[in-house]
Amino acid sequence: MTIEQLNEIKAKRADIVKVRTIIREEGEKLAKETAYRKQILVCGGTGCTSSGSMKILEALNEELKATGIQDEILVVRTGCFGLCSLGPIVIVYPEGAFYAQATVEGIKRIVDEHLVKGEICKDLLYKETVHEDGSIISLYETNFYKKQKRIALRNCGVIDPENIEEYIATEGYQALYKVLDSMTPDQVAQEVLDSGLRGRGGAGFPTGRKWMFTKDAPGDVKYVACNADEGDPGAFMDRSILEGDPHAIIEAMTIAAYTVGANQGYVYVRAEYPVAVHRLSIALQQARDYGLLGKNIFGKGFDFDIEIRLGAGAFVCGEETALLTSIEGNRGEPRPRPPFPAVKGLFGKPTLLNNVETYSNIAQIIRNGAAWYASMGTEKSKGTKVFALGGKITNVGLVEIPMGTTLREIVEEIGGGIPNGKKFKAAQTGGPSGGCIPAQYIDTPIDYESLSALGSMMGSGGLIVMDEDNCMVDVSKFYLNFTVDESCGKCTPCRIGTRKLYQLLEKITDGKGEMKDLDTIDELANHMKSSSLCALGQSAPNPVLSTLQYFKDEYIAHIEGKCCPSGVCKNLLQYNIIADKCKGCTLCARNCPAKAITGTVKQPHVIDQSKCIKCGVCISNCKFGAIIKK
Amino acid sequence: MTEKTVVPFQGTPEQEAQLKEVIAKHHDQPGGLMPTLQEAQGIYGYLPIEVQRMIADGLGMSLSEVYGVATFYSQFSLTPKGKHKISVCLGTACYVKGSDKILEAVEAKLGIKSGECTADGKFSIDSCRCVGACGLAPVMLVDEDVYGKLTPEQVGKILDKYDD
């Protein structure tokens, strides 16, 4: 591959891809200059695939053939658009018509009415994109997208991740050429450092500094690795980037390898992400076929290749030393640092390890310059951050915002607020290592420093919203249960500390807690923080400490009042049928998954407390308000 | 882990031949044990001690090393799974939307606990941490099928579909 060939591919495809990024007249005009009158994008991310987007794609192709317009219309299977709760998602360009929760019947209408006759099926559009007067707006103009700044996610939901030419069309591999052609390793590392980019895996270490350490470490053989072992349950940005824009990671790793002097790279990815693994494998093969990976890249005498290694379900492998140990084929146990991986990493050699989202910013920093990147964000946290919005929020999905955006903007504007008229209680960031941000701090601008100051952390970017129905003691117990499971067992403070902490929380949610337990929790938590070997143990107490700081009243209600104010903790709850109100309709008994309700028709029913699993199905089914929870 | 009834190992010569190919492929690869175990589990469905022993011999390492790795990672199973594998997501996004109640409904329906297999070998239940379909929370997988936005009362009907 030469730069001329690369530019030729880019020129051939650029306009086609560009139609998907601009709107209205401009887009319509450009579309006329391409071979396709319209383009129809179907989301092939994990979220939409789970809700059936592949069946939609099949039906779409059949219908296009049946109507005989298949040559005028370009069908693109993209990565994640971000609005997972509205899946399966279908978008038609150049109008930018955003069809939500598409169905097989719906797609036939979209082909017949929209693609053939040019009449948009307004009743199938995402309601926020249709105004009262019937005019439609593009997805990019909705509240969900407006405040976002998509850099790491720029190609997700735009290009076909299984076609390298679509990536090349969006300036792909230009940064790699620039680096190999005209930059020294020192210059590259300096550029990354100047951009202010910090590790997006959670710790926030300056990326450029890491690159310099590895570059300067003595040794002939060095490695570059990518951490795609996204373990925080509820965070899925790394997966979406691998699924939606895998070449961005390949290009960035190649740039990193040139900088530090490595010829072999590894991507360590969760085996639970089959789609991501599949797309990455295709991308790697295409990059090799195009001469963008392998021997003598761009004829500049630089060799580099990448191998995929699958994780096998161990959260601790997100920790850098544990991850490298796992690639070596061992139990993924962390080891003490120093020596840091930059000095002694994979197979004992200097190793650069960055997270997926970190890598996804690199090529753009090289192309647009450090100053461009550093112009976004806050004083100490530059650029953007991707968050996975989940939990009790209307727009569940992926969002990318400039650092410094407030939590209120994320939850209320981008996220569309809390469903069912409930009240915002807290947002949890940083997963099992993080903490909660309570409602009184909703106007906090999000960056590394402000989150740490509140006792939480940036983490990998999971942002779980909780409403008044979530019990904070139960939530911290949930996280501790997770860390008990995932502690690797190597060091005592973590192995035994997490279990003891869990038992104390269980005692409280069982209604057997004593006030002195809170002091024990505090003492134990601080010991774990100071003496655990790796970040898993050091940060495992954070969810407890943070909820204890902001929601101590809930702990006290469980201990002294023997009640769970949010009605979650089962051992403090009982469901009962009020005999006077029960009409004996049998609906509750028929729907009870535990067969805990008995009674004859037209006679009051009874709940067998020993069988009741307190799932609440009966209450939601009872039409007479005869069942109470207390 | 509590030891349950040991299912006798019923590997076929075809499976063994496949395993030997896998071992040969990863024999000289640095860190080849993990991919070998992954592919071996793909062949046998689980990793009984007999298979671990063949891998240890094939790769020239001790059985204890192989066993150590096989028991470290949650993806590797030393016991067979049911014909239909149920997996309830207990990731955070699903949990705050009540996936624990989904798991309980599955357990109540089948009369077994998470991590167990029904006596007839039809169903096994596991919990998992995030399949990445957070937009559909709470989520349950039966084999490859994803069921989202679940309520406990839907569980019974869904499982009945697989009771063949």
pLDDT in tens, A399-439: 999 999 999 999 999 999 999 999 999 999 999 999 999 99
Phi, psi of B135 (to 5 degrees): -70, -15
Cα A595 to Cα A611: distance, rounded to the nearest angstrom: 7
Cα A400 to Cα A463: distance, rounded to the nearest angstrom: 12
Sort out which chain A residues have CB atoms less than 8 A from B146's CB and list them: 50-51
Percent of chain A with pLDDT over 90: 88
Binary contact (B135, A462; C-beta < 8 A): no
The full length of chain A comes to 630
Binary contact (A330, B69; C-beta < 8 A): yes
Interface of chain B toward chain A, CB-CB under 8 angstroms: 30-35, 37-38, 68-69, 72-76, 90-93, 95-97, 101, 104-105, 108-109, 128-137, 139, 146, 148, 151-153, 155-156
Phi, psi of A125 (to 5 degrees): -75, 155
- Which pLDDT tens digit goes with each residue over A606-626? 999 888 888 888 988 899 999
Among B1, B86, B96, pick the best mutation site for testing chain A contact (most A Cβ within 10 A).
B96
Binary contact (B38, A50; C-beta < 8 A): no
Binary contact (B128, A272; C-beta < 8 A): yes
Binary contact (B153, A591; C-beta < 8 A): yes
Sort out which chain A residues have CB atoms less than 8 A from B132's CB and list them: 46-47, 236, 239, 272-273
Q: How many CB atoms lie within 10 A of CB B38?
A: 20
Residue type, A607: I
Pair B152, B105: CB distance under 8 Å: yes
* A148 class by beta-carbon count within 10 Å (0-12 exposed, 13-18 middle, 19+ buried): buried
Binary contact (B136, A50; C-beta < 8 A): yes
> Is the pLDDT assigned to residue A349 strictly greater than 50?
yes
Q: Give pLDDT, residue A266.
A: 98
Q: How close are the terminal C-alpha atoms of chain B, in Å?
A: 30
Sequence-distant (6+) residues with CB within 8 A of B71 are B78
| Strand partners for A401 | A385
Locate the chain B residue with the closest alpha carbon to A487: B72
Sort out which chain A residues have CB atoms less than 8 A from B130's CB and list them: 233-236, 272
Compare CB distances from B96 to A85, A235, A464 and report the shortest one's residue. Answer: A464
Binary contact (A271, B75; C-beta < 8 A): yes
Q: Give pLDDT, residue B4.
A: 53
Pair B116, B82: CB distance under 8 Å: no
Q: How far is CA A17 from the centre of its chain?
A: 25
Locate the chain A residue with the closest alpha carbon to B101: A615
Among A396, A433, A469, A570, pick the best mutation site for testing chain B contact (most B Cβ within 10 A).
A396
Binary contact (B130, A234; C-beta < 8 A): yes
Binary contact (A482, B129; C-beta < 8 A): yes
SS3 of residue A224 by DSSP: strand
SS3 of residue A115 by DSSP: helix
Query: What's the mean per-residue pLDDT of chain B?
Result: 91
Pair A328, A309: CB distance under 8 Å: no
Q: Give pLDDT, residue A629.
A: 85
- Which pLDDT tens digit goes with each residue over A298-328? 999 999 999 999 999 899 999 999 999 999 9
User: What does the CA dihedral A420, A426, A429, A433 come to, rounded to 10 degrees?
Assistant: -120
Q: How far is CA B87 from the centre of its chain?
A: 9
Model confidence at A605, pLDDT cuts 50, 70, 90, reads: very high
* A119 class by beta-carbon count within 10 Å (0-12 exposed, 13-18 middle, 19+ buried): exposed
pTM over 0.90: yes
Locate the chain B residue with the closest alpha carbon to A391: B93
User: Comparing A293-297, A365-369, B118-122, which segment has the lowest mean pLDDT?
Assistant: B118-122
Locate the chain A residue with the closest alpha carbon to B151: A617
Query: What's the mean per-residue pLDDT of chain A?
Result: 95
Locate the chain A residue with the closest alpha carbon to B76: A312
Q: What is the DSSP string of A508-529?
A: HHTT---HHHHHHHHHHHHHHH
Percent of chain A with pLDDT over 70: 100
Pair A84, A398: CB distance under 8 Å: yes
Binary contact (A309, B34; C-beta < 8 A): yes
Binary contact (A329, B139; C-beta < 8 A): no
Among A50, A386, A483, pick the best mutation site for testing chain B contact (most B Cβ within 10 A).
A50
Among A279, A613, A614, pick the best mutation site for testing chain B contact (most B Cβ within 10 A).
A613
Q: Give pLDDT, residue A51.
A: 87
Pair A350, A222: CB distance under 8 Å: yes
**Cα dihedral A55, A60, A62, A66 sign:** positive
> Is the pLDDT assigned to residue B22 strictly greater than 90?
yes
Mean pLDDT of A104-109: 96
Cα A380 to Cα A403: distance, rounded to the nearest angstrom: 10
Residue A537 vs residues A191, A433, A484, A533: alpha-carbon distances, Å: 34, 9, 10, 7
| Strand partners for B117 | B124
Give per-residue burial for A449-477: e unless 16+ CB within 10 Å, then b. ebbeebbbbbbbbbbbbbbebbbbbbbbb
Binary contact (A396, B137; C-beta < 8 A): yes
Model confidence at A141, pLDDT cuts 50, 70, 90, reads: confident
Q: Which residue has the tokens 């040019």?
A: A118
- Which pLDDT tens digit goes with each residue over A234-278? 899 999 999 999 999 999 999 999 999 999 999 999 888 889 999
Q: Domains of chain A by range and CATH?
A: 12-142 (3.40.30.10), 164-374 (3.40.50.11540), 384-470 (3.10.20.600), 473-559 (1.20.1440.230), 574-629 (3.30.70.20)
A506-512 long-range CB contacts below 8 Å, 24 or more apart? A506/A477, A508/A473, A508/A555, A508/A558, A508/A559, A509/A471, A509/A473, A509/A474, A509/A477, A509/A558, A509/A564, A509/A569, A509/A571, A509/A572, A510/A569, A510/A571, A510/A572, A511/A558, A511/A562, A511/A569, A511/A571, A511/A572
- Which pLDDT tens digit goes with each residue over A523-576? 999 999 999 999 999 999 999 999 999 999 999 999 999 999 998 998 998 899
| Strand partners for A402 | A384
Cα A420 to Cα A394: distance, rounded to the nearest angstrom: 9
Sort out which chain B residues have CB atoms less than 8 A from A312's CB and list them: 34, 37-38, 73-76
Among B22, B129, B159, pick the best mutation site for testing chain A contact (most A Cβ within 10 A).
B129
Compare CB distances from B96 to A327, A388, A466 and report the shortest one's residue. Answer: A466
Annotate A422-489 with three-state secondary structure.
CCEEEEEECHHHCEEEEHHHCCCECCHHHHHHCCCCCCCCEEEEEECCCCHHHHHHHHHHHHHHHCCC
- Distance (Å) from the C-alpha of residue B25 to the closest C-alpha of chain A? 15
Q: Angle at the Cα of B54 (from B52 to B59), degrees rounded to 5?
A: 95
Sequence-distant (6+) residues with CB within 8 A of A236 are A46, A230, A388, A398, B130, B132, B134
Binary contact (B69, A388; C-beta < 8 A): no
> Is the pLDDT assigned to residue A22 strictly greater than 90?
no
Model confidence at A69, pLDDT cuts 50, 70, 90, reads: very high
Binary contact (A347, B30; C-beta < 8 A): yes
- Distance (Å) from the C-alpha of residue A347 to the closest C-alpha of chain B? 9
Binary contact (B92, A464; C-beta < 8 A): yes
Question: And the tokens for A134?
Answer: 């019937």
Phi, psi of B146 (to 5 degrees): -100, 130
Model confidence at A138, pLDDT cuts 50, 70, 90, reads: confident
Sort out which chain B residues have CB atoms less than 8 A from A330's CB and list them: 31, 33, 69
Binary contact (A312, B134; C-beta < 8 A): no
Q: Give pLDDT, residue A176.
A: 98
- Distance (Å) from the C-alpha of residue B146 to the closest C-alpha of chain A? 6
- Distance (Å) from the C-alpha of residue B16 to the closest C-alpha of chain A? 22
Residue type, B163: D
Look at residues A176, A202, A154 and name the one whose alpha carbon lies nearest to residue A373.
A154
Sequence-distant (6+) residues with CB within 8 A of A557 are A563, A564, A565
Query: Could you tell me if residue B60 is left (phi over 0), alpha (psi between -120 and 50 degrees) or otherwise beta?
Result: left
Sort out which chain B residues have CB atoms less than 8 A from A347's CB and list them: 30
Q: Give pLDDT, residue B6.
A: 61
Q: DSSP class of residue A382?
A: B
Cα A221 to Cα A203: distance, rounded to the nearest angstrom: 27
Binary contact (B130, A392; C-beta < 8 A): no
Mean pLDDT of A28-57: 93
Among A319, A331, A429, A487, pick the best mutation site for testing chain B contact (most B Cβ within 10 A).
A331
Among B27, B28, B47, B95, pick the best mutation site for testing chain A contact (most A Cβ within 10 A).
B95
- Distance (Å) from the C-alpha of residue B62 to the closest C-alpha of chain A? 13
Model confidence at B1, pLDDT cuts 50, 70, 90, reads: very low
Mean pLDDT of A374-398: 95
Cα A164 to Cα A299: distance, rounded to the nearest angstrom: 19
Q: Give pLDDT, residue A204.
A: 93
Residue type, A456: S
